[in-house]
Amino acid sequence: MAFSWLEEDPDRLHMRMALAEAEAARREGEVPVGAVVFHPERGIVGRAHNQKERLRDATAHAEILSLGQASVALDSWRLEGTTLYTTLEPCPMCAGAIVQARVSRVVFGALDPKAGAVESVLRIFAPGLFNHDVSWTAGVLAEECGAMLSKFFRDRRYEGDSERT
């Protein structure tokens, strides 16, 4: 018997883990963004979802929290060789933290046309811009990632409309 998950593309497999984190955020009333940090020898060393509301902390983005976990797991702030998977294109804060942490690669799902700092609004990962280059892959499971975010905000707008009546 073959296990189809063993044959799945690693980027899609890890993005599904990030989507599970995003779903946890949604259930908690947070913007549904999830992130996973993968180390080639140690496996998953960080996984988190947005917790800005719960922690009352503007920096509690999924990417920042997962980078912190990875640093603890690897006992280093230098996360060279790791890949960060996130359901939404990183914002400027998260992209800056990714560069500072020396993450080797970022894989993200949906573009963020309002605050994306990789392709959409800014290009913080542009080669040669900083002392550390980050490679990236965009659009992995983009439809699922984008649909979760769209539904979350559509539902919130609907709830807001019903509260005004």
Q: Measure the N-to-C terminal CA separation of the chain; round to a whole number of Å.
A: 56
Give the β-pairing of 43-49 and 135-138: unpaired
Helix (H, G, I), strand (E, B) or coil at 96: helix
Q: Which of 63, 143, 144, 159 is catalytic?
A: 63
Helix (H, G, I), strand (E, B) or coil at 88: strand
Q: Is residue 23 flagged as an active site residue?
A: no
Q: Residue 35 burial (CB < 10 Å; 0-12/13-18/19+)?
A: buried
Active-site residue numbers? Answer: 63
